[in-house]
Structure 1
Amino acid sequence: MSLVEVNFDGLIGPSHNYAGLSLGNLAATRHAGDTAHPRAAALQGLEKMRGNMERGLVQGFFLPLPRPNRAYLDALSADASTDRGLIAGAWSASSMWTANAATVSPAPDTTDGRCHLSVANLVTMPHRAHEWPDTLRQLRLAFADQDHFAVHGPVPPSFGDEGAANHMRLCSRHGASGVEIFVYGRSGGPFPARQHEQASRIIARRHGLSAERAVFIEQNPDAIAAGAFHNDVVAVANEQVLFCHEQAFAQPQAAYDEIRQAFPELELVEVPASAVSLAEAIKSYLFNAQLLSLPGGEMALVIPTEAWDSAPVRGWLEAMLAGNGPIRQVIPVDVRQSMANGGGPACLRLRVVADPATIDPRFLLTSEKADAMAEIIATSWPEALAPAAIGDKEIAAQIEQARSSLIDTVGLTELA
């Protein structure tokens, strides 16, 4: 069995909008009330997927969830007097950020030799807390081979869990056994800490990780207060490399020592605050990047164009590339519609190490499938969507029909 890393991106749904529902997400708050462009957003995300596929990487995708979520609206007893924020929550396209879909432990790390996935409960934010049942349906379809996968429901809702956005993995290569790093929060000044320590520990136990394969690290409260609502806004790992901001963790040196004890091969690439401030790192989403191992052996960092356009960030990256470090390429990509809602390249993907032959092929991207998706998006996704239009019955029908057309195109009629 050949294990490789497969990145599953969330295809951005036709209800993509800027309702500003995510407390602590500074970009989402800053753009609240703006007109979104769902068609452009979905095409930008699809183009990022194509780029990785053209680099020789295996690329997967998940479909947008049903929106508006009529079952959720029924549970709210929603009517014309219902708070606009609750209505907007039923329309949210935030499942596009599949880094929050689940936490994944590859087969080489687990006691039963299967890849384990636990769907995230996302209970901290009401607009996301109703995602998991539909996300779980897709996970159980994509990873239905029970000889190779175990797909779990959410941890109890008393413990907030936001999935892989607070989880990293270090290994000599993707198919080898590794060490998994769970990053949790305790406080974040005016903003909630979304990842509960006990949620992380529950997942490590249910996935069958030995004590030697799990490290639990506290996120820096100052980073949360500054707008790093998930760890992946200030840190990302790939194979032996941990790329992070100096202020990512509550006790950086102790964190590095603990990680090195579990994984002595660690290569740390730390960006000092003197070169890139915490505020600039969060604004530019430098660390919300895809750190990828290319087929030729080089490691590449796929960053949002906003990071490349930042003078301090670009200066540091150019100096890094001029050196002899493990990251040898920087690839800027345009995901501006997602970025304006607080999600960069890393937010848009869930990393699964598996043999592609064990995954339902309907969830794996090909050039032909990408072309067919692009055509559906170009003809069916709304060109623009203003928050004032949320709740409109005709627009809701258009959104539902667009998703239905996509489902028919990729043959995933079980999700209708």
Structure 2
Amino acid sequence: MSTAAISNVREVNFDGLVGPTHNYSGLAVGNVASMSHGGLVSNPKEGALQGLLKMKSLMDAGYAQGVLPPQQRPDIGALRDLGFKGSHREVLARAATEAPHLLRAVCSASSMWTANAGTITPSRDAWDSRVHFTPANLQSSFHRYLEPQTTGRVLRAIFHDEQYFAHHPVLPATPDFSDEGAANHTRLCGEHGEPGVHLFVYGRQSFGGERQPARFPARQTLEASQAVARQHGLTEAQTVFAQQHPDAIDAGVFHNDVIAVGNGPVLLYHEMAFLDEEGTLDELRAKMSTPLIPIRVPLDAVSMEDAVASYLFNSQLLSNPDGTMTLVVPSECQEREAVWRTLQGYLLAGNNPISDVIVKDVKQSMRNGGGPACLRLRVVLTDAECAALTGRVLLTDALYGDLTAWVNRHYRDRLAPDDLADPQLAEESLTALDELTQLLQIGSVYPFQLR
């Protein structure tokens, strides 16, 4: 690929819009923030506006920014599949009385964390020169297992042109092929248009393996990561499979992106990120065409408790045209002295490409266990691929204004767990989502629109 062609390739961060039913139900086992905030009152409007403001500020700073819609919630169809009968109002009332945990699950707004939406291989690395997509099955928890079908429709609607985009089926929704998407996948390279090496991080092996976490479940399997790589046609020379440290999972690191973040040639990671740290780095060095730049944060600088509480490693690492990088961190990083000291005195002052730190307030998401990196799905695209996107999904000032007004029209500013049974909330959500698909010009993607 020519130098000009390489320069016409960019990373687009597609952020998930926080949905109208954003609430704190404490559904995610192993996610310390989610479990500790379960039962609190949420503010869906504030959450959506915080996410949009993050997108807008990064767009204004020159980074390409896209938008993905939330899922249809509550998922009353899922409740009907589980035996609840009657009108919408009757189904919600029965679920609230007989199985409130199921009602909370079908109201989850967890699709905002689009890092879990799927795994993407850029056209530069694909055998057929197309961008490849596999939605994650998210089978490890019921509330997320409900997402893949709509996720697949959304991705196919936006990345529709078969000349440029290829879509693969969701992996079998069984524990053996438990797949949590790009939260456990990092592409490392020189420039975005140069060949990349794909680092897949897994928590356990279904067919073999020894070390397993003892306290919390390991959500990603080696077998799932290998299957996605096969779907995308990635070769052994293009892939590295590394096991996440079981002790990190037991400390609340439910996805690898809570303990490591990479972009370009840089891998920023905690000492406890990988079970075989040196072996992982050695294999990356051997397979990358550009020298790897590892930035290791030792345990004595940032404890596991501070890493999980601050989500330092669930930050966005963004490439700048001058070769430097910007780290977008949640405001919680300022609240932990050791973390902020590490950012200022170790990362910014160190011999590495990170030259700037941007602090963003995404507290509504953070209380459910999702930082800046959870909120975005990275898709590397050429100019031609960007031009082939369907819909109005790349953020502009006009789209930001329209989405902000849409949130202010439709979202509540207070939602307690008991409010989830309110049939009016369901009607409000459907009305908002129907309007959103028209605003984004992506067609009918929700179950209620396909009947």
TM-score normalised by length of structure 2: 0.90
Matched AA of 1:24: G
Indicate which of 331, 341, 353 corresponds to 1:326.
353
Matched, 1:92 2:108: yes
Q: Where do 1:12-411 residues align within 5 Å? A: 12-78=18-84, 79=91, 80=94, 81-158=97-174, 159-186=177-204, 187-263=212-288, 265-319=291-345, 320-355=347-382, 356-411=386-441
Do the aligned residues in 2 keep the contact of 1:55 with 1:294 (CA within 8 Å)?
no
SS of the equivalent of 1:161 reads: coil
CA distance in structure 2 between the partners assigned to 1:342 and 1:18 by the alignment: 10
1:326 is aligned with what amino acid? P
**Aligned letter for 1:341?**
N
What SS does the corresponding residue of 1:112 show, helix, strand or coil? coil
Deviation string, structure 1 residues 34-64 (Cα, Å, up to 9, x no partner): 0000000000000010011111111111101
How many angstroms apart in 1 are the aligned matches of 2:172 and 2:349? Answer: 47
Paired residues for 1:1-12 under 5 Å = 2-12=8-18
- Structure-1 separation of matches of 2:149 and 2:421: 22
CA contact (8 A) 2:391 2:442 kept: no
One-letter amino acid matched to 1:239: G
Task: Give, in angstroms, the shift of residue 296 of structure 1.
Answer: 4.1
How far did residue 406 of structure 1 move?
A: 2.3
Aligned to 2:207: none
1:414 alignment partner, SS class: coil
The alignment yields a C-alpha RMSD, in angstroms, of 1.2
Q: CA deviation at 1:310?
A: 1.3
Q: Would you say the 8 A contact 1:120–1:162 is kept in 2?
A: yes
Contact kept, 8 Å, 1:166 with 1:183, in 2: the verdict is yes
Shift of 1:363: 1.7
| Distance (Å, rounded) in 1 between the aligned partners of 2:405 and 2:223 | 44
Contact 1:88 1:391 in 2 (8 A): no
Alpha-carbon distance in 1 for matches of 2:315, 2:304: 16
Amino acid in the other structure paired with 1:329: D
Conserved? CA contact 1:301–1:331, under 8 Å: yes
Is the Cα–Cα contact under 8 Å of residues 18 and 112 in structure 2 kept in the other structure? yes
AA at the equivalent of 1:364: L
Deviates further, 184-193 or 377-386: 184-193
CA deviation string 1:223-249 (max 9, x = no partner): 100000000000010000000000001
1:414 and 2:440 are equivalent in the alignment:
no
Alignment gaps of 5+ in structure 2: 85-90, 205-211
- What displacement does 1:265 show? 0.7
1:397 shift after superposition: 1.4
Q: How far apart, in 1, do the equivalents of 2:287 and 2:320 lie?
A: 25
Q: CA deviation at 1:209?
A: 0.6
CA separation of 1:413 and 1:206: change in aligned 2, threshold 3 A: closer
Q: Distance in 1 between matches of 2:141 and 2:287?
A: 33
- Give the deviation of 1:168 after TM superposition: 0.5
- Verify the 8 A CA contact 1:56 1:295 in the aligned structure 2: no
What CA distance in whole angstroms lies between the structure 1 residues aligned with 2:418 and 2:265?
47
1:110 deviation in Å? 1.4
Q: Which runs of 5+ in 1 are unaligned?
A: none
Q: Report if the CA contact (8 A) 1:218-1:249 is conserved.
A: yes
Identity %: 46
| Cα separation, 2, equivalents of 1:49 and 1:36 | 21
Q: After TM superposition, give the deviation of residue 352 of structure 1 in Å.
A: 0.3
Matches of 2:286 and 2:267 in 1, distance apart?
14
User: What displacement does 1:354 show?
Assistant: 0.9
Deviation track 1:10-41 (CA, whole Å, cap 9, x = no partner) reads 00010000011100000000000000000000
**2:190–2:264: 8 Å Cα contact kept in structure 1?**
yes
1:22 is paired with a residue of what secondary structure?
coil
**Paired residue type of 2:233:** G
- Partner Cα distance (2:435, 2:165) in 1: 29
Q: Which runs of 4+ in 1 moved over 4 A?
A: none
In structure 1, the residue corresponding to 2:379 is in which secondary structure? strand
Q: Distance in 2 between matches of 1:162 and 1:82?
A: 30
